Amino acid sequence: MIIQPNDLWRWSYDAQSDRLMLDLSDHMLFATEYRGKQLVPAAFTSCAFCVDDAALYYSLLDQAQALDWSAPAKVQLILNAVAVRRFYKPLMPQSWYFREYDQSYPSTAGALVIMECEGREALFMVVEEGEYASVCINLEQELMLAGHKSFPRFAVIKVMNNRLRGWEAPEISLAQAG
């Protein structure tokens, strides 16, 4: 079941858990993956899940349909991505971890992309596109960068667009579909 945003949802920061939270009402609270040191000052003031947040939620959700994930996992991804777009501190590119390609990928928000790190392909979602660099969220369970830095699921990185390649969902044959 995919939850639908409504005008009761509220962003807030919980100092005790050091997390950005989203109050979904009815005693449901979503804890993002992001800590206070990663957030802009606006994240520390309670505010509504606005119309722009809802529009981004639905746009990213459309893109996430290609993932073979459960509905709750997709919602978790999308809510984290909306939080990043609205409240994450600006980043400098850290492209050196990933293989460079001859051409830049024309990224758009929600695009599912592949980046190659030490010969391994990793899946990311573009959260914020730029002309030369894009902010991406890791979709892998855990990714090792340069053999020593652990990069967990939903971690955020900004990379130059020439590190991105488009991803296509694997096709399922009729025999696999059952």
Tens-digit pLDDT profile for the chain (178 aa)?
A: 689 999 899 999 999 999 999 999 878 899 999 999 999 999 999 999 999 999 999 999 999 999 999 999 999 999 999 999 999 999 999 999 999 999 898 889 999 999 999 889 999 999 999 999 999 999 999 898 877 888 999 999 999 999 999 998 776 544 554 4
With a threshold of 0.85, does the pTM exceed it?
A: yes
Q: At 113, give phi and psi (nearest 5°).
A: -130, 160
Helix, strand, coil shares, percent, the chain, to 5 = 25, 30, 40
pLDDT at 55: 96
In angstroms, the CA 127 to CA 50 distance is: 17
The reported pLDDT for the residue numbered 172 is: 56
Residue closest to 125 by CA, chosen among 41, 49, 30, 56: 56
Name the burial class of residue 172, with classes exposed (0-12), middle (13-18) and buried (19+) by CB atoms within 10 angstroms of its CB.
exposed
